[in-house]
Structure 1
Amino acid sequence: MANADNDASGVGRRDVLLGAASVTALSVTGAASAAPPKTPNADMKMATITTKDGTQIFYKDWGTGQPIVFHHGWPLSADDWDNQMLFFLSKGYRVIAHDRRGHGRSTQTATGNEMDTYAADVIELAKHLDLKNAIHVGHSTGGGEVAHYVARAEKGRVAKAVLVGAVPPIMVKSEKNPGGTPIEVFDGFRAALAANRAQLYIDIPTGPFYGFNRPGAKISQGVIDNWWRQGMIGGAKAHYDCIKAFSETDFTEDLKKIDVPVLVMHGEDDQIVPIADSAPLSAKLLKKGTLKTYPGLPHGMCTTHADVINADLLAFFKS
């Protein structure tokens, strides 16, 4: 015979009552402690645009005020900017971040996975959102995208730009760039991606990306898992092609053309984009470039040291 406190399904009435009480208590607590949102839902948009070649580009567009557009690195997504999006939203800016084609929630493209098309996609996004006087911030591959876009942007669209741990002027070693990274390194990335992309996307954040391979590093499994999650959402073909785009594109002429103020930020312990062949060279090529380096900080310093980076970004935006 069933216990008197149990119904026919075997679920105890006492359990049901306790569960209902817990839900009620949580609801009351949430109602008492939850603050009203600072930004109306109408100003918290997530949507897509369809480019001329039929590619859907996912983007987030939060808040009002001067727009800041964030450009993510390989093989990540707009989610890599969560900390910065929340921080600058709270400071009264309109914050925008998109998933590059082939990445995140955008179309897993077979073609167009190169810098000319990446920049063209941003041109279409800026026009669709009617961005004016915007600040563009790019990390790693996203820094290359920013340089390529800003050099081509319509007048009045861009006020300032920031390159963080960025790939310009050019990564791959050649006669013209003897201090670059040997092509064999990038061939190794391609081979590892093709063989076992899931494992590669564990190895990179666990090791050099955030400096978690350094003695005494404060390792965050959540950060590693989030990197893996973002990477695996994107398309393997697009990510494979993007390795060539970020490593072999020469941004020298782009940097020379840019006539807005540009802050070049780079960690001195960047194991992904070595500083000696990137940031100082970019700053010299820019008409209005300012170089700021960070002793001991890794490639992913926007995540590991967000408080430091956000404060310096805010100071530059207000300058």
Structure 2
Amino acid sequence: MGTITTKDGTQIYYKDWGAGPVVALSHGWPLSSDSWESLMYFLATNGYRVIAHDRRGHGRSSQPSEGNEMDTYADDLAELLDRLDVKEVTLIGFSTGGGEVARYIGRHGTKRVRKAGLISAVPPLMLKTDQNPGGIPIEVFDGFRKAQLANRADFYRDVASGPFYGYNRPGAKPSQGLIDFWWLQGMMAGHKNTFECIKAFSETDFTEDLKKFDVPTLIIHGDDDQVVPIDRGGRAASELVKNSKLVVYEGAPHGLTDTHKDRFNADILAFLKA
């Protein structure tokens, strides 16, 4: 575990576990690298070096007032990979982290990248626009912002105990520990940072970034994702990314990396070995 300091003075915290081919993980909003702990442990004990950072404003990284948008997130990731001088990296991004991976490839190319993974990811574009009529109306994201300003602690509890893990579905069996862990990660993040990140994950158009992918790409998405609907996320992304494979988890929610972790970890390992 360590930190780097970016060009604008932001400290980025990262974990670096194991040895072998390199996998770098980008987490979702408003979480941290801790959200990847199951996959990190699994891969590190199966012969891989796994790097996961806390995005600026999240987890144990600095909480700068500026730079809470996708270009800077991608540039922070580039600085981390450059500083560690890792090559032939498999980049995997979950949700907002999928946007970070897409924008990284769009801005920095694949000179360090061997493969990519987009998991429950926000690309190509979540927001409803004239060019994206099937997207989510801006009023939904305005509601997120209103709820965060009104009572961030309650808002995060509601997300984790409801749509994120599908615990609002009939017959669901919520894990209070998992809900609390999600809430704790969210509350460690900066209020201003996570507020501004809502715009970053919902309004950024990654269409041109996805067209620049030139490495094998695994796309995993649940077809009961209430946060990033599969038609707006995984299915749309798979049509834009050359040499991609879409794997649909039937009935899976947004947070499938935890609810379906055994299957997910096995699928990632198989993709790495292929």
Whether TM exceeds 0.5 here: the answer is yes
Partner secondary structure for residue 162 of structure 1 = strand
2:185 and 2:4 mapped to 1: Cα distance? 20
**Aligned-pair distance for 1:131?**
1.1
Cα separation, 1, equivalents of 2:48 and 2:111: 18
2:110–2:214 CA contact under 8 A, matched in 1:
no
**Residue 127 of structure 2 aligns with which residue?**
172
- 1:119-268 to structure 2, matched below 5 A, reads 119-153=74-108, 155-268=110-223
DSSP-derived class of the 2:154 partner: helix
2:52 matches 1:97: yes
Higher relative contact order (CA 8 A, sep 6+): 2
The residue aligned with 1:272 is 227
2:16 pairs with 1:48 = no
1:191-250: CA deviation from partner (whole Å, max 9, x where unpaired): 110110000110001000000111111210000000000000010000000000000000
Alpha-carbon deviation of 1:154? 5.2
Q: Tell me the equivalent position of 2:42.
A: 87
Inter-partner Cα distance in structure 1 for 2:84 and 2:172 = 41
Q: Which residue of 2 aligns with 1:284?
A: 239
Distance 2:110 2:67 in 1: 25
* Matching residue's letter, 2:20: G
Runs of 4 or more above 6 Å deviation = none
CA distance in 2, matches of 1:118, 1:241: 12
Q: Indicate whether 1:109 and 2:64 are aligned.
A: yes
Q: Is the 8 A contact 2:99 2:123 kept in 1?
A: yes
Residue by residue over 1:107-159, the C-alpha shift from the partner in whole angstroms, topping out at 9 and shown as x without a partner, is 11211000000000001000011110000110000000011112333553100
- CA positional deviation for 1:63: 1.3
Q: 2:24 aligns with which of 69, 76, 91?
A: 69
Instruction: Name the CA distance, whole Å, in 2 between partners of 1:277 and 1:232.
Output: 28
Q: CA separation of 1:168/1:154 partners in 2, compared to 1, >3 Å: closer, same or farther?
A: closer
Give secondary structure in 1 for the equivalent of 2:130. Answer: coil
Larger radius of gyration: 1
Instruction: Measure, in 1, the Cα distance between the counterparts of 2:20 and 2:108.
Output: 20
Report what 2:256 is aligned to. Answer: 301
What amino acid maps onto 1:226 in structure 2? F
The residue number in structure 2 matching 1:318 is: 273
Q: Distance in 1 between matches of 2:57 and 2:160?
A: 20
In structure 2, give the amino acid aligned to 1:144.
G
| TM-score for the superposition, normalised by structure 2 | 0.99
Unpaired runs of at least 5, structure 2:
none
Aligned to 2:121, the other structure's residue is in SS state coil
SS in 1 for 2:20: coil
Q: What is the rounded CA distance, in whole Å, between the counterparts of 2:115 and 2:267 in structure 1?
A: 14
SS in 2 for 1:95: strand
Distance 1:179 1:303 in 2: 28
Gap runs ≥5 in structure 1: 1-45
Alpha-carbon distance in 2 for matches of 1:70, 1:110: 24
Deviation of 1:281 (Å): 1.2
**3-state secondary structure, aligned to 1:276:** coil
Change beyond 3 A, Cα 1:249–1:154: closer
Q: Tell me the TM-score normalised to structure 1 length.
A: 0.85
The percentage of counterpart residues that share the same residue type is 61
Q: Secondary structure at the match of 1:168?
A: coil
